[in-house]
Every structure is written in structure tokens, then in C-alpha cells.
Amino acid sequence: MLVREHGGELTDAELIGIAGLLLLAGHETTSNMLSLGTLALLRHPDQLAAVRDDPEAVGPAVEELLRWLSVVHNAIPRITTSEVEVAGVTIPAGALVLASLVSGNRDPAFVDRPDVLDISRGAVGHQAFGHGVHHCLGAPLARMEMRIALPALLQRFPTLTHVEPFDEIDFRSFHFIYGLKSLPVAW
Ligand code: HEM
């Protein structure tokens, strides 16, 4: 569509940049949220049952999984336009600032028992999609994918289980977007 409707205005480098961004931002994020979210629910059977059986529980569960998993650890880097004070620290104008979304989402000053996955928390909010003008463009699509896929998977495979013991499951040790290398399952 970009080539058809804007081909004359965009350079090859811009087209490749947009395609790369959408692949990373649009696919890596949601696919890893779905696999990590499935694993998280398998380890919390009561919450898994609620996501499978109660349509009202699905929306809040997706928000809590986004907060708890925080698959994108850092926001897009910002540069301060003026001097600013954050939590007693003065940051000069023109400084590069990298916000840790995962640490914000697990800040005990923001949420009680931050390391506990609890889909009944209510709407506590989170920073999993960032904040401000660069807030994730695909957030509504990502939410829709998760709200549809998680209950559908759990209803289709009610006996779903992970086959490896939890401490042998292969997580990515480092990647811009957190996730699993693989998650062998049985049903
Ligand atoms: C669970 C899934 C997703 C998560 C956790 C996520 C997270 C994020 C985060 C943290 C940012 C940076 C925000 C900031 O710095 O304030 C971002 C930006 C962005 N995301 Fe997502 N994202 C997800 C899914 C998607 C999807 C499905 C798409 C597109 C189909 C998408 C497209 C983008 C784009 C284009 C930006 C850059 C926005 C800008 O710079 O103005 N994301 N996302």
C-alpha cells in the first residue's frame, strides 16, 4: 500500500525503515506477549481459568500482563529540551534520557506487590506502551490481538501445559524485546 500510494514520495531507505520498524514493533512485541502471557497464565491456573471462562476478566488480564511482563524494557530515547528535575535529580537541557518502562511498571510506589501477577487489580494503568507523543501507535491493535488470542487458545486447548520444567525454559538472555526462545507445549 505504501509503494502504491506513496511510492513516488518515499525513498527505498525510508520504505525499508518503515517495514523494519513495523516488523519489530508490530510482530516481535505481540508474539512475545502472547507466548510469555500464555506461560504466565499456565503458572497461575486460577487466573488462567478466569481468562478462559469469563469475558469480563480478559481486558483487565491483558493490562496486568502488559504491566507485569513489560516486554519492551526501555522507551524510545528522549532528549531534554530544557533543564528538568526528576525525583531530586537535575537533568540538563540537551541530555539523552532513557526511561526504564519495566522498572516503572514494577515500582512499589506505583503499585502494591508489584512482582505479583494479579488480574483482579483493576485499572492501575502501566507504561508498557510508553507515554506521550511517542506512545505506541499499535497499542489498540496489540490489545485486540491479545484479548482475542488468549481466551481462544485456552478454550481450544483446555489441557494446555508446558512440557519442560519452568527453570529449563529458554528465555532470551538479551534482546530489545523480551521473550522466549521457544515454549514446547502439550495438550
Ligand atoms: C504488546 C505489544 C506492544 C508493546 C508492548 C509495544 C510497546 C511500545 C513501546 C514501549 C513504544 C515506545 C513508546 C515510547 O517511547 O513512549 C512503542 C512504539 C511504537 N509501537 Fe509499539 N508495542 C506493541 C505493539 C505494537 C504494534 C502491534 C504495532 C504496529 C502494528 C506497534 C507500532 C509501534 C510504533 C510505530 C511505535 C513508534 C511510535 C512513535 O515513535 O511515535 N507496536 N511500542
- Residue range 121-145: mean pLDDT, rounded: 94
101 Cβ inside 6 Å of ligand 1 = yes
Q: What burial letters (b/e) apply to 43-54, b meaning 16+ CB within 10 Å?
A: ebeebbebbbee
- Residue range 163-186: mean pLDDT, rounded: 92
For 117, the grid coordinates are 501477577
pLDDT digits (tens, 9 = 90+) for 4-48: 998 889 999 999 999 998 888 899 999 999 999 999 999 999 999
pTM comes to 0.93
Which of 2, 65, 78, 129 to mutate for ligand 1's pocket (most ligand atoms within 8 Å of CB)?
129
Angle at 81 between CA 75 and CA 85, to 5 degrees: 75
Indicate if the pLDDT at residue 3 is higher than 90. Answer: no
For residue 99, with 0-12 CB atoms within 10 Å meaning exposed, 13-18 middle and 19 or more buried, which class applies? middle
Q: Could you count the other beta carbons within 10 Å of the beta carbon of residue 17?
A: 12
